[in-house]
């Protein structure tokens, strides 16, 4: 065989091999394109968002998302000027209509990144939380399972809560000047002492400084609290300046907890990175809903910081938060006020629960959030005149105080 013929033969074989590889790659690409997991538009599912309704009752806006399957999801909006929050939720529906409600992370990012100038703002994140919770409710109902199973399944059998006979949180009983008097300190210490006597040596006592006790006064107070073995001091400082929390951590030996006024993973990072907080307290309705709270728990896990969620909400917000802590590894205790009529209007939302003798409740039911909503009654309540008034607090000299 001549050298020229040999060259042509090798070229032909190489071209045939390349063609075979090419067809193989095409076949693989087609196969991958037909794999359901790679069909990001979820063509196999025809469920779509078709409507949104809002009901303003007291400090809550109840949010209902409707679908073409007849499955609806509920969430609640709180912790903001609900007059503004309600309009924002209704405006955001423009970004949701016609979407598949089970693409929850995609829709969260769509809402969060939609407007560069209001991204991450408190009112936007609270509005997004209501929507996110409603979407998880839909997903759970669609697959007939509790939300916590969609989050990875249960990591515990029951959930420790407060207030109970075994766990009490003491409020600051007022706002305080920038340096406490002996009477101020004695009043707070007396309340904490009474709580410890109530729960006994095996119970838990927490003190909620509520950002109403300025740093200098809190340092004065903390030195008098050692005999009462607090589980934590909540909201020791006003969020926004991590240096304040670092200073408090240097001066106070009691575990510090905060997070109810911080939103999304981005505002939680400084506490963890600077090691100035022992417990994180995200509020599911304040920080962007179930999706974001689960991420916060994972972020905290990397620093071995447990969650003790803040939660003053209807059963919708309560259930959403309970589903998250049902599915995370590091959890301490959960705020639980099911009878708080100021937030949880009796009979409008219902979730079965039972408090055991040790201060625990069971995992939240399903499907979805496992919460029943009496919509006819909600409609009637929403017809009543609703008012909102901006809060304000002042010190003795008339200056504006934190609380």
Residues known to be catalytic: 210, 310
**At 55, which helix (H) or strand (E)?**
strand 49-57
- Beta-bridged to residue 55, according to DSSP, are 62
Distance, in Å, from the CA atom of 24 to the CA atom of 18, rounded to the nearest integer, reads 10
User: Hey, what long-range contacts does 187-195 have (CB within 8 A, 24 or more apart)?
Assistant: 188/213, 188/221, 189/221, 189/224, 189/225, 192/225, 192/228, 192/230, 193/228, 195/168, 195/170, 195/228
- Helix 290-302 crosses helix 122-142 at what angle (to 10 degrees)? 100
Token pair belonging to 377: 């009654």
Per-residue CA distances from 372 to 72, 137, 346, 378 (Å)? 11, 11, 12, 12
Distance from C-alpha of 318 to C-alpha of 284, rounded to nearest angstrom: 8
What's the rounded Cα separation, in Å, for the pair 60 and 76?
Answer: 6
Segments of 90-166 assigned E as strands: 158-162
Q: What is the 3-state secondary structure (H, E, C) of 31-50?
A: HHHCCHHHCCCCCCCCCCEE
Polymer length of the chain: 403
276-309 core/surface letters (b: 16 or more CB in 10 A; e: else): bbbbbbbbbbbbbbbbbbbbbbebbeeeebbbbb
What is the spatial distance between Cα 308 and Cα 74, in angstroms, rounded to a whole number? Answer: 24
Contact 228, 192 (CB under 8 A): yes
């Amino acid at each position: 065989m001549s050298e020229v013929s040999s060259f042509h033969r090798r070229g032909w074989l190489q071209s045939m091999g390349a063609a075979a590889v090419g067809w193989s790659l095409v076949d693989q690409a087609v196969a991958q394109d037909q794999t359901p997991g790679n069909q990001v538009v979820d063509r196999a599912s025809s469920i779509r968002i078709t409507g949104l309704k809002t009901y303003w009752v007291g400090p809550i806006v109840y949010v209902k998302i409707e679908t073409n399957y007849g499955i609806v999801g509920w969430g609640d909006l709180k912790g903001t000027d609900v007059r503004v929050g309600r309009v924002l939720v209704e405006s955001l529906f423009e970004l949701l209509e016609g979407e598949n409600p089970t693409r929850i992370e995609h829709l969260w990012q769509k809402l969060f990144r939609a407007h560069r100038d209001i991204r991450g703002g408190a009112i936007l994140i609270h509005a997004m939380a209501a929507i996110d919770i409603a979407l998880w409710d839909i997903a759970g109902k669609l697959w007939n399972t509790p939300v916590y199973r969609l989050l990875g399944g249960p990591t515990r059998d029951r959930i420790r809560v407060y207030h109970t006979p075994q766990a009490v949180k003491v409020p600051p009983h007022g706002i305080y000047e920038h340096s406490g008097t002996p009477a101020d300190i004695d009043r707070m210490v007396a309340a904490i002492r009474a709580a410890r006597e109530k729960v006994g040596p095996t119970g838990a006592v927490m003190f909620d400084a509520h950002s109403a006790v300025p740093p200098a006064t809190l340092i004065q107070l903390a030195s008098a609290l050692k005999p009462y073995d607090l589980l934590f001091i909540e909201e020791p400082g006003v969020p926004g300046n991590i240096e304040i929390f670092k200073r408090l951590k240097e001066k106070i030996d009691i575990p510090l907890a905060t997070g109810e006024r911080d939103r999304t993973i981005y505002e939680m990072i400084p506490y963890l990175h600077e090691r100035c907080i022992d417990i994180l307290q995200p509020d599911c309705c304040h920080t962007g809903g179930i999706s974001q709270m689960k991420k916060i728990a994972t972020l905290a896990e990397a620093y071995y910081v447990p969650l003790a969620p803040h939660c003053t909400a209807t059963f919708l917000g309560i259930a959403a938060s309970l589903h998250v802590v049902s599915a995370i590894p590091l959890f301490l205790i959960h705020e639980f006020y099911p009878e708080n009529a100021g937030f949880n209007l009796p009979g409008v939302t219902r979730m079965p629960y039972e408090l055991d003798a040790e201060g625990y409740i069971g995992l939240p039911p399903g499907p979805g959030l496992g919460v029943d909503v009496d919509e006819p009654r909600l409609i009637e309540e929403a017809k009543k005149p609703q008012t909102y008034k901006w809060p304000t607090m002042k010190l003795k000299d008339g200056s504006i105080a934190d609380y």
